Amino acid sequence: MELNDKVSSLKGIGPKKAEILKKNHIFTLEDLLNLFPRKYEDRRQETRIEDLQPGKEFLISGKVLSRRYSGNPYKKNTPLTLLVSDETGTVEILFFNGRYIANLFNVNQDYSFYGRVTENFDRKQMIHPEFHRIGDPNDIRGIIPIYPQISGISQNELRKIQLQLQELYPQVEEWLPDEVVSENRLASPAYAIENIHFPKDGKQVLESKFRLIFDELLTLETGLFYIKNETRKDTGGIVIEADCADQFIKDLPFELTAGQKSVWEDMKRDLAADKVMNRLIQGDVGSGKTVVAELAMYAAAQNGYQSVMMAPTEILAKQHVQSLTADFEKYGISVGLLCSSMKAAEKRETLQRLAIGQIQILVGTHAVIQPDVIFKNLGMVITDEQHRFGVNQRSLLSKKGKNPNILVMTATPIPRTLAVIIYGDLDISQIRTMPRGRQPIKTMQADMENRNRVYDFVKKQLKEKKQAYVVAPLIEESDKIDAKSAEELHKELSQKFAGFQVALIHGAMKQEEKDFIMGEFSDGNIDVLVSTVVIEVGINVPNATVMVVENCERFGLAQLHQLRGRVGRGSDQSYCFLICHNETDVAKERNQIMCESNDGFEIAEADLRLRGPGELFGTRQHGLPEMHISDLVRHGDVLEKAKNTAKAIIDKDPDLRNRKYEKLKNRIRKMFGEDIKLEL
C-alpha cells in the first residue's frame, strides 16, 4: 500500500464510490488520510442501563437476553427486538430491518450499543444503535471520529476505510526543516495523522490538530509572503508628485468627504516617496473609492506615467471607462478599454496605442494581465473590488511595469485585525464616511404572504420615474439554472408592471447583450431590471431607488450588503426589500441585521458573531485559497505563529532556493493552484 495509490485499490471502494470520492477531490490514499474528522464522539464512558435518560445518546454494554420478531420472521423488514441487560436494568433494542441483522446476535452474549435513547410508555428503547460484539475488532467504543458528510458513503464506511489506512502511517514523512519543527514544538506528521483519526484522548487531538493547522497556515502565509515579496519593493519605486491633483479636486462637482481626503493624504505621501506604494482602500459600497483612484491616475498622467485599472466584470470595466472618459477628457488624458469580448482588430489597435503611450489609462477585466499587454511606462496599478481576484492576479498585474505603485480597492468590510493578516504587508486605509446628502437606505423584510405588497410599492416608485432592481433567486451557482428562475420572474413581473419596461439580464447571456441592457438601464430606458447576481459588483445608476432580493435566505450577509449598495446612490430615498421564501433562523437573524444597519463594517462584525467566518471569509470573498482544517479567525493564535515562521523563512530565503524547502514549495503550489505563476 502506497500513499499515491488510487482510492479504488482499497477494499470496499468500487467504481461507484471512487466516483463519489473524486467529486469530493479525493483521488489517492493520501487524500483520504487528509480527510480529517469534523468532530469526535466521546464513547469512552459506559452508562449503566438504569441511568439512561431519553433524548440523549449513550454507550451501554450488556447481555442479550432475548431476540424476538414482531411479525412474520420470514419477511425481510420485520422489526427485531432485543432485550439487553446489565446488572442494573434492561433496555429494548429495536431494528426495523430485522431479517438482515438477526443472525449477528446470539442470546447470552455480550455486546456494546451506542445510540439515542427514547421512551416507549415506561420502557426505555434504543432504535438502530451502532453495536459490536465484545471481543470483535470493530469496537464502537473509544473516541470515535465523525467525518465530513459525503453523500453515498456512510460514517461507518468512512471509519472502516480509515482503519485500513492505518498501515500507511509509517510512510508519512516529516516535510519541514528541523528548526521549524523544534521551534514550534510540532508533533510529527505521522503522529498527527494517526491521532487526528484515532485519538486515545483529548490531548492527542489537540497536538495533532495544532500540527495540521500549523502546516496549512504556514503554507498559506509563506505563499502570501512569497507573492508580496515579488511585488513589494522598499526603494526604487516610481516617484509621483501628486500635488498637481489639487486642480482635479477643484474641478470636481462635489467636495471630497473627510474619509476620501484622509485616504488621499496617505496616498500622496506614498507616491512622493521612492518606496513603492502598496495600499488597500477599504470602503463601503457608495463611499466613493473611484474618485480617489482617479486622483492617483490623474497625478500619474501628469507625471508622464500610464495607469491600469482592473475590474472583475466587463460591465463594471465599461462603466468605469465611461465615467473616466467623461472626467479626464477635458485634461486631454486618454482612456482605453481592454476586455476579452473585443474584436481582434480593436484589441490589436488598443495594444498598439498602449505600447507607444497613446493610451494613458487602461481599464479592463483580467484581459489586462495577459502576456500580450505591454505598457510604455506603467506607474500606477489599481484593482477594483479586489475580493474578486486571486492574490496572484494582482501580482501579475504589477509585473507589467517596473515597480509601479499599487492601489487595491475593496468593498468587503473585513475587520481590520483580519485584513492585516489576509493582506499582509499592504498598508490599509479605510473610508468610513459617506458622501453628503446621501440618505440611509430603508431596508424591510417580507415573506411570501406580503410579497405582492412589495411589488405594489415598487410600482409607486416606478410611477415617480424611479427605477428598480429585482434580484432573482439563486438556485445554485450555475449560470444556466439560475437564468431559468430569472426568466420566470421576468415573465411574472412583466405582467405585474404592464406599461413599464421590464428587462432581464443573467450570467448565461452574451456579453454584448448584457452590456446593451445595462446601458439601457443606465440611460433610463428600462424601468425594472430583473437579474441574477451579475449586477452585484460596482454598478452605478443613481436613479435606481429600489432593490428587491427574492430568496434572500440564499445569500450571505456580505452579498446582501453588496446588493443593497446598488441603490442609494443618488439623493433620493432608496429602499431595499428582502423577500424570504423559506424563513430559517439564520435568515431571520441576517435580515434583522440588514434592517438595522447600513454600515458594512458593522455588518461584517455581526456576521462573524452570528456564525463564524465561514461564509464572509469564504474564498470568493477575499481571493485566498480554500482552507481545509484551519479557520482564520478561530485559529488566530496558530496563524500568528505560522505567520512569524513564514516571515522568517522568506526573509532568509526569498526565493525558497534551499533544498530543505522543496516540500514546502510543493505544498504552496498545490494550495494556490496550478495556474498561479509562482516562479518557485
Q: Which residue is nearest to ligand ADP (CB)?
A: 288
Q: Which does 561 bind (CB under 5 to 8 A by kind): Mg ion, ligand ADP, none?
A: none
Per-position DSSP letters for 391-459, written without gaps between them: HHHHHHHHTTSSS-EEEEEE-----HHHHHHHSTT-EEEEE--PPTTPPPPEEEEEESSSHHHHHHHHH
Query: Is the Cβ–Cβ distance between 514 and 365 less than 8 Å?
Result: no
CB nearer to ligand ADP: give 368 or 541. 541
Query: Is the Cβ–Cβ distance between 426 and 298 less than 8 Å?
Result: no
State in angstroms the smallest separation of the CB of 467 from ligand ADP. 15
Region from 88-96, 188-196, 251-259, 543-551 binding ligand ADP, contact rule CB under 6 A: 251-259
Asked if 322 interacts with ligand ADP (CB under 6 A), we say no
CB nearer to ligand ADP: give 91 or 382. 382
Task: Identify residues 408-447 at the interface with ligand ADP (CB under 6 A).
Answer: 411, 435-436
Region from 59-67, 89-97, 282-290, 414-422 binding ligand ADP, contact rule CB under 6 A: 282-290
Q: In what order do the strands lie in the sheet with 544-550?
A: 442-447, 575-580, 544-550, 467-471, 528-531, 502-505
**How many angstroms separate the CA atoms of 626 and 354, rounded?**
36
Q: Which does 62 bind (CB under 5 to 8 A by kind): ligand ADP, Mg ion, none?
A: none
Q: How many CB atoms lie within 10 A of CB 324?
A: 22
Angstrom CA distances, 145 to 141, 191, 248, 677, stand at 11, 16, 63, 38
**How many angstroms separate the CA atoms of 98 and 390, rounded?**
55
Site string for ligand ADP, 365-404 (x = CB under 6 A): ----------------------------------------
State in angstroms the smallest separation of the CB of 565 from ligand ADP. 6
Task: Identify residues 122-151 at the interface with ligand ADP (CB under 6 A).
Answer: none
Q: Which does 254 bind (CB under 5 to 8 A by kind): ligand ADP, Mg ion, none?
A: ligand ADP
Near ligand ADP by CB under 6 A: residue from 569, 635, 665, 667 = 569
Task: Identify residues 155-184 at the interface with Mg ion (CB under 5 A).
Answer: none
Q: Which does 283 bind (CB under 5 to 8 A by kind): ligand ADP, Mg ion, none?
A: ligand ADP
Angle between helices 662-672 and 202-231 (to 10 degrees): 80
Asked if 254 interacts with ligand ADP (CB under 6 A), we say yes
Q: How many residues of this chain interact with ligand ADP, rule: CB under 6 A?
A: 18
Four-residue CA torsion sign, 289, 291, 293, 296: negative
CB nearer to Mg ion: give 195 or 319. 319
**How many angstroms separate the CA atoms of 614 and 220, rounded?**
17
3-state secondary structure of 348: helix
State in angstroms the smallest separation of the CB of 411 from ligand ADP. 6
Q: Which does 306 bind (CB under 5 to 8 A by kind): Mg ion, ligand ADP, none?
A: none
State in angstroms the smallest separation of the CB of 537 from Mg ion. 8
3-state secondary structure of 178: helix
- Cell readout for 374 is 505591454
**How many angstroms separate the CA atoms of 23 and 30, rounded?**
16
3-state secondary structure of 324: helix
Site string for ligand ADP, 197-236 (x = CB under 6 A): ----------------------------------------
**How many angstroms separate the CA atoms of 297 and 380, rounded?**
7
Q: How far apart are the first and last CA of the chain?
A: 31
CB nearer to ligand ADP: give 287 or 645. 287
State in angstroms the smallest separation of the CB of 538 from Mg ion. 4
Task: Identify residues 514-553 at the interface with ligand ADP (CB under 6 A).
Answer: 540
Asked if 290 interacts with ligand ADP (CB under 6 A), we say yes
623 conformational bin, left if phi > 0, alpha if psi -120 to 50, beta if neither: left
CB nearer to ligand ADP: give 261 or 620. 261
Near ligand ADP by CB under 6 A: residue from 162, 195, 208, 287 = 287
State in angstroms the smallest separation of the CB of 231 from Mg ion. 22
In sequence order, what are the residues at sequence separation of 6 or more whose Cβ sits closer than 8 angstroms to the Cβ of residue 556?
A: 590, 607, 615, 616, 618
CB nearer to Mg ion: give 323 or 597. 323
Residue 342, burial from CB neighbour count under 10 angstroms (0-12, 13-18, 19+): middle
Query: Is the Cβ–Cβ distance between 200 and 142 less than 8 Å?
Result: yes
Q: Which does 562 bind (CB under 5 to 8 A by kind): Mg ion, ligand ADP, none?
A: none
Query: Is the Cβ–Cβ distance between 443 and 564 less than 8 Å?
Result: yes
Residue (of 385, 368, 397, 367) closest to 227 by Cα position: 397
Q: Which does 37 bind (CB under 5 to 8 A by kind): Mg ion, ligand ADP, none?
A: none
Q: Which does 240 bind (CB under 5 to 8 A by kind): ligand ADP, Mg ion, none?
A: none
**How many angstroms separate the CA atoms of 209 and 629, rounded?**
8
543 conformational bin, left if phi > 0, alpha if psi -120 to 50, beta if neither: alpha
CB nearer to Mg ion: give 388 or 635. 388
Region from 69-77, 278-286, 447-455, 511-519 binding ligand ADP, contact rule CB under 6 A: 278-286
Q: Which does 263 bind (CB under 5 to 8 A by kind): Mg ion, ligand ADP, none?
A: none
State in angstroms the smallest separation of the CB of 665 from Mg ion. 36
User: Three-class SS string for 602-645?
Assistant: HHHHHHHHHHCCCCCCCHHHHCCCCCCCCCCCCCHHHHHHHHHH
Site string for Mg ion, 527-556 (x = CB under 5 A): -----------x------------------
Asked if 257 interacts with ligand ADP (CB under 6 A), we say yes
Q: Which does 365 bind (CB under 5 to 8 A by kind): ligand ADP, Mg ion, none?
A: none
State in angstroms the smallest separation of the CB of 282 from ligand ADP. 10
Near ligand ADP by CB under 6 A: residue from 10, 196, 285, 656 = 285
State in angstroms the smallest separation of the CB of 362 from ligand ADP. 19
Query: Is the Cβ–Cβ distance between 322 and 343 less than 8 Å?
Result: no
Asked if 98 interacts with Mg ion (CB under 5 A), we say no
**How many angstroms separate the CA atoms of 554 and 593, rounded?**
15
Asked if 291 interacts with ligand ADP (CB under 6 A), we say yes
Residues in touch with ligand ADP (CB under 6 A):
254-257, 260, 283, 285-291, 411, 435-436, 540, 569
Q: Which residues bind Mg ion (CB under 5 A)?
A: 538
